[in-house]
Amino acid sequence: MSENKQLTKKPSIISTFLGGCYRGFEVGIKNIVPAMILGYTLVYILQATGVMDLLGSVLSPVMGVFGLPGEAVAVLISAFFAKAAGCGTAATMYASGILTMGQATMLFPACILMGTLIGHYARIVLVADADKKWHGLLLAVPLFDAVISLFMMKIILTFMGIE
């Protein structure tokens, strides 16, 4: 019995911690950094081509409902592909003065709720072979959640006095 306990010895707290650090670093390098680069690149391309100004004027009424400039739609487009890309896009737009701190903060929960929708849809809905009649709903729910989060964040930030 004591021989069995020695064979199934638990790893030390240090090796568990270091293993977690390694996995976290690996996730950052493989997933988060490329998504951040996508966000920065998307904003740069949209600004350089003048599409950002076009988006801003066309979508200004829609985004204005949330107290956001029309250009903020670029954050949501980026998040559609990757959560980190949406957050990175919001940070880039804040750094370049397109968004205020409050507006960027308002967009972060929406990025998380609807983020990586394309990838999740492909990996989960299509692989699981979900009934096709539910595909539209499965795409709409995260988008609806993101809209609700924008309204909620607008209320919270207004209550806090952050614009």
The answer as to whether 2 is a domain residue is no
The residue with tokens 């929960």 is 109
Is residue 3 in some structural domain?
no
* DSSP states of 9-66: PPPPHHHHHHHHHHHHHHHIIIIIHHHHHHHHHHHHHHHHHTHHHHHHHHHHHHHHTT
Q: What pLDDT shows up at residue 95?
A: 92
Range of the domain at 75: 12-160
Residue 60 lies in a domain: yes
Please count the structural domains in the chain.
1
Q: State the pLDDT at residue 6.
A: 58
Give residue 4's pLDDT: 57
Number of C-beta neighbours around residue 83 at 10 A: 24
Report DSSP state, residue 126.
I
pLDDT of residue 89 exceeding 70 = yes
Residue predicted with more confidence, 5 or 71: 71
113 pLDDT more than 60: yes
Mean pLDDT of 35-48: 77
Looking at residue 5, its pLDDT comes to 57
